[in-house]
């Protein structure tokens, strides 16, 4: 009987902890600004700056102390349906960027909003075409990125907010700014 009581007490404790924690899915849509430096390209090809639409989808886990662990995938200028929203009309430069990432964040309550600073690690691929006749240059790598988010809890399950992410490399920089919608289970 004692073992059964201990088992039931342990189960009750783990269920109460799980109720405070949340798994979630998140979708972002916004604009990325690229600054691709001359050093990214072969000699004689100039770098450029460009803005592209980005889409981001992620799944994460928020602990009861509001620490966040997230796995996500970012796409820039890959889903053509959103291109007219944020993409430059110039067709001389084309930039495609995608990356798989892991992120750790701390959610901090500020009044009715949440402020969430984060640091992450992204495995990325950048496909840059500086203009006619130059050809695409494709490179990949791994980088740290930094992120700030502000969100408002709309209901127990839904929240919306704004997100800003920066990834700096020796040969290029990416800054992303967009809106975010999150559904917690």
Q: Dump pLDDT digits (tens) for 102-114.
A: 999 999 999 999 9
Q: Which residue ranges make up each domain of the chain?
A: 21-184
CA pseudo-torsion sign 16, 21, 23, 25: positive
CB 27 within 8 A of CB 178: no
| CA 183/CA 28 separation, integer angstroms | 12
Residue 81: what pLDDT? 53
* Stated length of the chain: 185
Residue 178 main-chain phi, psi, to 5 deg:
-165, 180
> Any idea what DSSP says for residue 91?
-
Burial of 85 (0-12, 13-18, 19+ CB in 10 A): exposed
The tens place of each residue's pLDDT in the chain, 185 residues long, gives: 444 443 334 434 443 344 456 899 999 999 888 899 989 988 888 888 888 888 899 999 999 888 999 999 988 765 555 555 555 545 566 788 889 999 999 999 999 999 999 999 999 999 888 877 677 888 999 999 999 999 999 998 999 999 999 999 989 999 999 999 999 98
| CA 159/CA 151 separation, integer angstroms | 6
pTM of the model: 0.80
Q: Where are the beta strands (DSSP E) in 63-157?
A: 67-76, 94-106, 108-110, 113-129, 137-153
> Any idea what DSSP says for residue 65?
T
CATH class of 21-184: mainly beta
Residue 48: what pLDDT? 86
Closest CA to 79 of 46, 52, 110: 52
């Amino acid at each position: 009987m004692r073992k059964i009581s201990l088992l039931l007490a342990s189960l009750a404790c783990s269920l109460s902890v799980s109720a405070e924690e949340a798994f979630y899915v998140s979708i972002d849509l916004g604009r990325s600004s690229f600054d691709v430096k001359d050093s990214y390209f072969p000699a004689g090809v100039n770098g450029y700056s460009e803005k592209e639409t980005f889409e981001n989808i992620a799944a994460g886990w928020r602990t009861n102390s509001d620490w966040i662990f997230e796995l996500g995938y970012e796409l820039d200028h890959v889903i053509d349906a959103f291109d007219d929203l944020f993409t430059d009309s110039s067709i001389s430069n084309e930039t495609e960027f995608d990356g798989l990432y892991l992120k750790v964040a701390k959610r901090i309550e500020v009044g009715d909003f949440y402020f969430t600073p984060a640091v992450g690690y992204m495995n990325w691929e950048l496909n840059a075409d500086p203009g006619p006749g130059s050809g695409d240059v494709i490179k990949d790598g791994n980088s740290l990125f930094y992120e700030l988010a502000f969100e408002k809890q709309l209901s127990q399950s839904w929240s919306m907010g704004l997100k800003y992410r920066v990834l700096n490399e020796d040969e290029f920089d990416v800054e992303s700014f967009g809106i975010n919608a999150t559904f917690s289970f």
